Amino acid sequence: MNLLTILGIAVALAMDAFAVAIATGVSLKQVSIRQTFRLSWHFGLFQAFMPIIGWGLGSSVQSYMEAYAHWIAFVLLALVGSNMLKEALQADEDAEETKPKKDSTKGMTMVMLSVATSIDALAVGLSMSMLRVSIVTPAIIIGIVAGLFTIAGLHLGMRVARLTWLSTWAEIVGGLVLWIIGLNILRENGVFTSLL
Q: Which residues of 126-152 are buried (b: 16+ CB within 10 A; e: fewer)?
A: bbbbeeeeebeebbbbbbbbbbbbbbb
What pLDDT score was predicted for residue 37?
95
For residue 6, what pLDDT band results from cuts at 50, 70 and 90? confident
Q: What global pTM score does this model have?
A: 0.73
pLDDT above 90 as % of the chain: 22
For residue 91, the model assigns a pLDDT of 41
Q: What is the pLDDT of residue 99?
A: 52
122, 183, 193 from 71: Cα distances, Å? 14, 9, 15
Check: CB of residue 144 under 8 Å from CB of residue 72: no
Higher confidence at residue 6 or residue 76?
A: 6
pLDDT tens digit sequence for 18-38: 888 988 888 888 889 999 999
Domain ranges across the chain: 3-189
User: What is the chain's mean pLDDT, rounded?
Assistant: 81
Q: Which long-range contacts (CB under 8 A, 24 or more apart) does 68-73 make?
A: 69/119, 69/122, 69/123, 70/119, 70/185, 70/186, 70/188, 70/189, 70/191, 71/186, 72/115, 72/116, 72/119, 73/115, 73/116, 73/117, 73/119, 73/120, 73/182, 73/185
User: Over the stretch 136-187, which tens digit does the pLDDT of each residue have?
Assistant: 999 999 999 999 999 999 999 888 877 755 666 767 777 787 788 778 878 8
pLDDT of residue 94: 43
**Residue 138, Cα to own-chain centre: how many angstroms?**
19
Residue 101 is predicted with a pLDDT of: 63
**What number is the average pLDDT over the span 94-122?**
76
Residue 92's pLDDT is what? 43
Classify residue 67 by burial, with Cβ atoms within 10 Å: 0-12, 13-18, 19+. exposed
